[in-house]
Amino acid sequence: MNLKERKSINKSVNLIQDPSKPIITITMSKKQQQFQFRDAFILSWSLKDALGVAKNHPIPFVFGVCLVFFMAVEYTLFMIPPSSPPFDLGFVITKPIHRILDSEPGLNTILAGLNTVFVGMQTTYILWTWLVEGRTRATIAALFMFTCRGILGYCTQLPLPEGFLGSGVDFPVGNVSFFLFYSGHVAGSVIASLDMRRMGRAEMAWVFDTLNVLQMVRLLGTRGHYTIDLAVGVGAGMLFDSLAGKYEEKKKIGVVGHKV
C-alpha cells in the first residue's frame, strides 16, 4: 500500500497500549483494502504492551481472569441431577434467616407486609413521575420490563423453591401464583432509583437502594426468588430504563423532523 491509496489518517486508542499514547491507524476504501496476515493487529503488540494490560486496563483484565476461572469451574463441576432441587448459593447464605422466619410466622408476615409497602412506594413514585411531573421514561421502562418479565416467566416456569415461606400480605397479595423469573420487585426499584438519580434526588435513591438490598435478602430468606431472579432483576431494571430513554430520544427526533 502506497501513500496515494490512503484515504484518511485517524488517531485512536489501542486497547493494549497505554491509552495516553495515541497510535496512527490508516483507513482505506473497501475496494482498496486487502487484508494480509502480516497486518493483523495482534502482531503489532510488543511484550511491554501485553504486560501493560493489567496496569492500563485493570477492569477488562479482571474480567478476562474471571472468564478463565469460570470456564474451569463450569467444565469441572458436577451438574445437578433432575431428581434434585436446584443449587442456589443465596439460599445457602440465608439459611439462618430462613430458619428464623420459618419458626416465627408472625415476623414473616410483618416483613412481607413491609415489603408490600415498599412495592407500593415504587409504584407510586413511577406513576407520579408520569401523572404529576409529566415525565414518561420511568413508566415506559416499567411497562417494557413487566411485559418482558411476563413473556420470559411464562416461557420458562421455574419450580417453586423448596421451603418457600408464603404470606397472604406479600405482593401479589393473597397467596396467588407468580412468575419467579425475574424479580419485578427488584427491577421496579432499580427503575425508580435510576430516575431519582437523574433528577438529582440522590438521598431518596440511596434509601430505595438500601430497601432494595433488604428486600433481596428477605426474598432469598423466604425462598420467594432464586438468586438468578434477583440478579437479572437488577440488570432488567437498568436495561429497560436505558431502552425507555432511547425510545424517548427517537420520538423527540421524529417530532422535530416532522415539524421541520
Residues 50-99: pLDDT tens digits?
788 888 889 999 999 999 999 999 999 888 898 888 999 999 999 999 99
User: Is 84 part of any domain?
Assistant: no
C-alpha cell read off for 208: 430505595
C-alpha to C-alpha distance for 78 and 176, rounded to whole angstroms: 35
Q: How confident is residue 28, by pLDDT bands cut at 50, 70 and 90? A: low
Whether the pLDDT of residue 210 is over 50: the answer is yes
102 vs 17, more confident? 102
User: Is 206 part of any domain?
Assistant: yes
pLDDT at 10: 44
Among 88, 98, 170, 185, the one annotated catalytic: 185
pLDDT at 13: 43
For residue 172, the 8-state DSSP code is S
Q: Respond yes or no: is residue 185 known to be catalytic.
A: yes
Q: How confident is residue 154, by pLDDT bands cut at 50, 70 and 90? A: very high
3 vs 42, more confident? 42
H/E segment holding residue 23: strand 23-27
In contact, 227 and 89? CB cutoff 8 Å: yes
Q: Respond yes or no: is residue 39 known to be catalytic.
A: no
119 and 246 inside one domain: yes
Q: Where in the sequence is the domain holding 97, given as residue range(s)?
A: 89-258
In contact, 115 and 185? CB cutoff 8 Å: yes
Whether the pLDDT of residue 101 is over 80: the answer is yes
In contact, 190 and 237? CB cutoff 8 Å: yes
Phi, psi of 31 (to 5 degrees): -70, -35
Residues 168-202: pLDDT tens digits?
888 887 777 888 888 999 999 999 999 999 999 99
Which residues 6+ apart lie within 8 Å of 183 measured at CB? 216, 219, 225, 229, 230, 232, 233
User: Is 174 part of any domain?
Assistant: yes
Residues 105-122: pLDDT tens digits?
999 999 999 999 999 999
Among 88, 170, 195, 225, the one annotated catalytic: 225
Residue with cell 483494502: 33
224 and 151 inside one domain: yes
Residue 97, number of CB atoms within 10 A of its CB: 15
**Alpha-carbon distances, residue 90 vs 51, 158, 219 (angstroms):** 37, 16, 10
pLDDT at 47: 81
Q: Respond yes or no: is residue 225 known to be catalytic.
A: yes
User: Is 15 part of any domain?
Assistant: no
User: Is 193 part of any domain?
Assistant: yes
Please tell me the total count of domains within the chain.
2
C-alpha to C-alpha distance for 212 and 190, rounded to whole angstroms: 8
61 and 96 inside one domain: no
**Alpha-carbon distances, residue 114 vs 75, 110, 119, 176, 212 (angstroms):** 42, 6, 9, 18, 12
Whether the pLDDT of residue 38 is over 80: the answer is no
Residues 233-254: pLDDT tens digits?
999 999 999 999 999 998 887 6
User: Is 23 part of any domain?
Assistant: no
